[in-house]
Structure 1
Amino acid sequence: MNRILVVDVGNTNTSIGLFEGTNLVYDWRVSTLKDRTSDEMGLLLKMLFADKGMRGNPVDGIVLASVVPPVVSMFAEMCRRYFHRHPLVVGPGIKTGILVKYENPRDVGADRIANAVGAVQRYGGPVIVVDARTATTFTVVNEAGHYVGGVIAPGVQSAADALFQHTAKLPSIALTTPESVIGRNPVSSMQAGIIFGFADLVDGIVRRIHEETHIKHRVVGTGPYIDLLRAHSRTLEDVDPHLSLHGLRILWDLNH
Structure 2
Amino acid sequence: MLLVCDVGNTNLVFGLYEGRTLKHSFRLGTDPTMTSDEYGVFVKMLIEEEGYKFSDIDDVIISSVVPEVMHSLDNFAFKFCKKKPYIVGPGIKTGINIKYTNPSQVGADRIVNATAGYEKYKSNLILIDFGTATTFCSVSKDGDYLGGLITPGIKISADALFLNASKLPKVEIKKPENVVAKNTVSAIQSGIYYGYLGLVDKIVSQMLLELGWKEGEYNIIATGGLSQLIVNESIHEIEVDKTLTLEGLRIIYEKNKQ
TM bracket, shorter-chain basis? over 0.9
Indicate the SS of the match to 1:221.
Answer: strand
1:211 to 186, 189, 209: 209
Post-superposition Cα deviations, 1:80-126, rounded to whole Å, max 9, x if no partner, equal: 01110011010011111110111111111111011000000111120
Contact 1:127 1:140 (C-alpha < 8 Å) held by counterparts:
yes
Q: Which residue of 2 aligns with 1:146?
A: 144
Shift of 1:29: 2.0
Contact 1:196 1:232 (C-alpha < 8 Å) held by counterparts:
no
Contact 2:32 2:69 (C-alpha < 8 Å) held by counterparts:
yes
The one-letter amino acid paired with 2:109 is: D
CA distance in 2, matches of 1:11, 1:183: 32
What's the C-alpha RMSD, in Å, of the aligned pairs? 1.0
The one-letter amino acid paired with 2:232 is: A
Q: Higher mean Cα deviation, 62-71 or 232-241? A: 232-241
From the superposition, tell whether residues 159 and 7 of structure 1 become closer, same or farther in structure 2 (CA, over 3 Å). Answer: same
The one-letter amino acid paired with 1:226 is: S
The one-letter amino acid paired with 2:126 is: I
Unaligned ranges ≥5, structure 1: none
2:20 to 2, 19, 22: 22
CA distance in 2, matches of 1:140, 1:160: 26
CA distance in 1, matches of 2:53, 2:219: 41
Q: Which residue of 1 aligns with 2:235?
A: 234
Q: Which residue of 2 aligns with 1:246?
A: 247
Q: Which residue of 2 aligns with 1:193?
A: 191
After TM superposition, the structure 1 = structure 2 runs for residues 23-42 of structure 1, keeping only pairs within 5 Å, are 23-42=21-40
Q: Which residue of 2 aligns with 1:182?
A: 180
CA distance in 1, matches of 2:167, 2:208: 40
Q: Which residue of 2 aligns with 1:222?
A: 223
Shift of 1:132: 0.3
Shift of 1:236: 4.2
Contact 1:221 1:236 (C-alpha < 8 Å) held by counterparts:
no
Contact 2:11 2:27 (C-alpha < 8 Å) held by counterparts:
yes
> Could you tell me the TM-score, scaled by structure 2's length?
0.96
Q: Which residue of 2 aligns with 1:5?
A: 3
Shift of 1:56: 4.0
Contact 1:76 1:87 (C-alpha < 8 Å) held by counterparts:
yes
Q: How many residues align?
A: 254
CA distance in 2, matches of 1:17, 1:206: 30
Indicate the SS of the match to 2:246.
Answer: helix
Shift of 1:14: 1.2
CA distance in 1, matches of 2:40, 2:226: 27
Indicate the SS of the match to 1:81.
Answer: helix
Indicate the SS of the match to 1:57.
Answer: helix
Moved segments of 4+, more than 4 Å = none
Post-superposition Cα deviations, 1:147-186, rounded to whole Å, max 9, x if no partner, equal: 1111100111111101000112111111111101111111
Report percent identity of matched pairs: 42
Q: Which residue of 2 aligns with 1:48?
A: 46
Q: Does residue 1:202 correspond to 2:200, yes or no?
A: yes
Q: Which residue of 2 aligns with 1:166?
A: 164
Q: Does residue 1:58 correspond to 2:56, yes or no?
A: yes
Shift of 1:237: 2.2
CA distance in 2, matches of 1:200, 1:236: 14
The one-letter amino acid paired with 2:235 is: R
Shift of 1:232: 2.1
CA distance in 1, matches of 2:47, 2:145: 35
Contact 1:171 1:187 (C-alpha < 8 Å) held by counterparts:
yes
CA distance in 2, matches of 1:20, 1:128: 29
